[in-house]
Amino acid sequence: MIPKKSLIEIQSDLGSGEYSMSELMTSYLELAHEHKSLNIYIEVYEDEALAEAKRLDEKMKNGGKLGTLYGCVVSVKDVISHKDHGLSAASKILEGYTSPYNATAIERLLAEDAIIIGRTNCDEFGMGSANENSIYGPTKNGVDTERVPGGSSGAAAVSVQMNTCLIALGSDTGGSVRQPASFCGVYGLKPSYGRISRYGLIAYASSFDQIGILGHNPDDIGIVLEITAGKDPLDATSSSHVAAPYNKKDFKSNPKIAYFPSLIEHEKLDESIKENVLHTINQLRLAGASVIAKDFEFADYLVPTYYVLTTAEASTNLSRYDGVRYGHRSLSSDSLEDMYVNSRTEGFGKEVKRRIMLGTYVLSEGYFDAYFTKAQQVRNLITEEMSKVLEDCDFLILPTSTTLPWKIGEMAEDPVSVYLSDIYTVLANLTGLPAISIPSGTNVEGLPFGIQLMSKKYSEYDLLSIAKSLKLTTAT
């Protein structure tokens, strides 16, 4: 087995002939099979991946120009379109569906000689924090197989954690890349809204959704971000902000870092995570950073605002799954209306139904202004407040999650507690700001957790730079 290495190290090894791309690919595939019991992959594209590796070996042998991502093996969450491959969002409603096109992010990866190893399990339509809401069953955390890996990109995080790939593409609507990164002890970046095109990403809540990247180290994530970022004519919300070449220089010394005492003292925050955050803040001060306490009056509104708005958008986005054009169609229907109702009842899981019903309620005529409009107004206030905080400071430091990975099935009957655990991650999605979860330690049982950093819009490279520095200061 080839040990965990960075992309630059892998490319150096490939160039020196230490191993071939085919041998590297075989190593990843062997690990994917070895860890099959963790339920990481819905499909592993073994024959296709080996054929592509062989093609790249021939290309290198013949002196052909290799792409920037030569040597980069990628897993893809089952909500991102990959042409001629299955795409189900881990839902029965899309059973048997094959994508007819590539997502823009996939197109850009393939153009630079990345290889896709397979599609990973996830919570149905990205709705969940544990990777338990899937028709394929739960994914298990590689650190402790009785525990969840987080969600909804939980299997994406485990695919990196267990070294079955170098990089994983996930999606992040309210923390779905960062929280599983925290639970699995890997890095997880949610870029600024619009930084990576959403074309080809199955929509959950369109004004919140963002393709994110998980990896072993910040540099690999930065290189993949450079390739996937940029304006896309197929996505009107994609940003025209120039994605410069990834710069691996260290971040400037003595940055100004804000924190919210009210959130670090939150009653739901696990004590070991709290101690680690406070230790990290102290270490940053000793290293020369200015760490500044800031008031934040919207803490109690973050989760309610997020769930009112995302469920409203979900109820609209998921209305297209009706059994008519593709996916699951009920066979026990006597009329068109019955077919709609039965197809959606049979096709959607419990959590998806819950969110559709909540979203439909807040959009209904009698409650639209009281809930949806009010939540939009609060979202604007939160965005304005964060602009003020980051106008004065370079970064905001927060825990990634209130909790450590819980046992599979433990929270199944308590969805509200799971929703409340998103308090630290939804802030970045409400405001469209970039955020990264950085491995920061383990508790006495060896369960990993992360620290989260946020910054100004389009400051992903600054986040990646300080993430490398922060690795030297965090408690272990």
CB 257 within 8 A of CB 395: yes
CB 180 within 8 A of CB 400: no
Listed in sequence order, the DSSP H helices in 62-188 are: 104-111, 154-161, 178-184
Which of the residues 88, 99, 153, 176 is marked catalytic? 176
CB 194 within 8 A of CB 238: yes
The amino acid sitting at 467 is: A
Which of the residues 5, 77, 190, 457 is marked catalytic? 77
Is 421 considered catalytic here? no
Is 176 considered catalytic here? yes
Q: What angle separates helix 302-317 from helix 350-363, to the nearest 10 degrees?
A: 100
Which of the residues 75, 88, 99, 152 is marked catalytic? 152
CA separation, residue 299 to residues 356, 407, 424, 425 (Å): 25, 27, 9, 12
Is 81 considered catalytic here? no
Per-residue three-class SS string for the chain: CCCCCCHHHHHHHHHHCCCCHHHHHHHHHHHHHHCHHHCCEEEECHHHHHHHHHHHHHHHHCCCCCCCCCCCEEEEECCECCCCCECCCCCHHHCCCECCCCCHHHHHHHHCCCEEEEEECCCHHHCCCCCCCCCCCCCCCCCCCCECCCCCCHHHHHHHHCCCCCEEEEECCCCCCHHHHHHHCCEEEECCCCCECCCCECCCCCCCCCEEEEECCHHHHHHHHHHHECCCCCCCCCCCCCCCCCCCCCCCCCCEEEECHHHHCCCCCCHHHHHHHHHHHHHHHHCCCEEEECCCCCHHHHHHHHHHHHHHHHHHHHHHCCCCCCCCCCCCCCCHHHHHHHHHHHHCCHHHHHHHHHHHHHHCCCCHHHHHHHHHHHHHHHHHHHHHHHHHCCEEEEECCCCCCCECCCCCCCHHHHHHCCCCCHHHHHHCCCEEEEEEEECCCCCEEEEEEEECCCCHHHHHHHHHHHCCCCCC
Return the active site residues. 77, 152, 176
